[in-house]
Amino acid sequence: MPTPAVPAACQVEKTVPGPGMGDFSYVGIDAILEQMRRKAMKQGFELNIMVVGQSGLGKSTLMNTLFKSKVSRKSVQATSQEKIPKTIHIKSVSHDIEEKGVRMKLTVIDTPGFGDQINNENCWQPIMKFINAQYEQYLQEEININRKKRIPDSRVHCCIYFIPPTGHCLRPLDVEFMRRLSKVVNIVPVIAKADTLTLEERDFFKQKIREELRANGIDVYPQKEFDEDAEDRMINDKIREMIPFAVVGSDQEYQVNGRRLLGRKTKWGTIEVENIAHCEFAYLRDLLIRTHMENIKDITSSIHYEVYRVRRLNENNTAVAHANGLPQHHMTSHEM
């Protein structure tokens, strides 16, 4: 039987001009956008956010404010007394939320006990372990022979790090944590309870933070190296000039100028959470949810996860090599 020719695709670049006059020159390729949208609506989305910070910085409130519902861990558990745990716990709660036909499974991962001990050495370790465990779980499923149609995604897409509003600079704990974790997950630092800072103090604080991040080589989201094109870079540069966002959270509504708004009422005034003149909550919300959610998930799956995967697969190669007494260099360069 003569061997069949399996040719390489010859790249013939022909651009068909857009729809011309009359119905018949319209092919309908752009209908695929609608098809994709339909598919996305049917499947729904998953989002996993982790909140990290000392107790009392308003993490749960911020989550509730972001998603306009009781999504935080505290809203789910029935404890009336909030005790600061002796060690770091990792608790995740999932919710099904729906908006205009779009369904989303939101998982909020809380880390009570972080930074609350007297000796906080290695407090990032359990968090790192958790994040890597999610990657591991996904990897296990991915290399199965019989695998699910849609691999459930429990990987942490975004880690919001709460910086206490000291007004001076980052603490060593903050630097250590962000330095280590920015390599495995997207970190979005925010200045918590920013209503204790005046605008000048806030700007100064932000600048100091940005300097320190740069000095320590910490790449927070949006990372410069993952900008896709010039347009992307422009948008992300603007964001990078504003991080960390100074946020205020609230899940209580008050009457302001005849409207009901989310805010914090004090004797000297009401802070409107969604007013960008008051705080930068709206920017955070827009970044996380309205504009960059897909990008955050993309970077998690195609960069952070892949880095983990490469490391894990190479690790296994060397382990197997040692077990078999074969020289390591045989294995590490080998690809399946």
Q: 88 to 147, contacts with other proteins by CB under 8 A?
A: 88-105, 107, 125-126, 129-130, 133, 136-137, 140, 143-147
C-beta of residue 94 within 8 angstroms of C-beta of residue 72: no
Read off φ and ψ for residue 284, nearest 5 degrees.
Answer: -60, -45
Closest to 188 (Cα-Cα) out of 259, 139, 146, 246:
246
* Region near other proteins per CB under 8 A, out of 67-75, 156-164, 219-227, 242-250: 67-75
Q: Closest separation between CB of residue 208 and other proteins, Å?
A: 31
Q: Which is nearer to other proteins, 23 or 200 (CB)?
A: 23
Q: Which is nearer to other proteins, 143 or 234 (CB)?
A: 143
Residue 55 engages other proteins in binding (rule: CB under 8 A): no
Size of the site for other proteins (CB under 8 A): 117
Q: Which is nearer to other proteins, 147 or 168 (CB)?
A: 147
What residues have CB less than 8 Å from 124, skipping those under 6 apart?
176, 177, 180, 181
Name the amino acid, one letter, at 287.
Answer: L
Helix (H) or strand (E) holding 213: helix 199-215
83, 149, 259, 267: which one binds other proteins (CB under 8 A): 149
56, 326, 328, 329: which one binds other proteins (CB under 8 A): 326
Residues numbered 8 to 27 that lie near other proteins (CB under 8 A) are 8-16, 18-19, 22-27
**CA Rg value for the chain:** 24
Query: How many Cβ atoms sit within 10 Å of the Cβ of residue 248?
Result: 26
What residues have CB less than 8 Å from 301, skipping those under 6 apart?
153, 155
118, 121, 324, 327: which one binds other proteins (CB under 8 A): 324
Q: Closest separation between CB of residue 33 and other proteins, Å?
A: 5
54, 61, 67, 194: which one binds other proteins (CB under 8 A): 67
The residue behind tokens 């960069």 is 303
Q: Closest separation between CB of residue 274 and other proteins, Å?
A: 9
- Per-residue interface string for the shown chain with other proteins, residues 254-283, x marking contact by CB under 8 A: --------x---------------------
Q: Closest separation between CB of residue 173 and other proteins, Å?
A: 17
Q: Closest separation between CB of residue 214 and other proteins, Å?
A: 28
Q: In the chain, what is the straight-line distance between the N-terminal and C-terminal CA atoms, in Å?
A: 31
Long-range Cβ contact pairs of 296-300 (< 8 A, separation 24 or more): 296/157, 296/158, 296/186, 296/221, 297/47, 297/157, 299/186, 299/221, 299/223, 299/226, 300/155, 300/156, 300/157, 300/158, 300/185, 300/186
* Region near other proteins per CB under 8 A, out of 39-47, 167-175, 197-205, 206-214: 39-47
Q: Which is nearer to other proteins, 70 or 240 (CB)?
A: 70
Q: Which is nearer to other proteins, 76 or 173 (CB)?
A: 76
**DSSP secondary structure of 131-148:** HHHHHHHHHHHHT-SS--
Q: Which is nearer to other proteins, 67 or 205 (CB)?
A: 67
Q: Which is nearer to other proteins, 153 or 195 (CB)?
A: 153
| Dist. CA 157–CA 150, nearest whole Å | 17
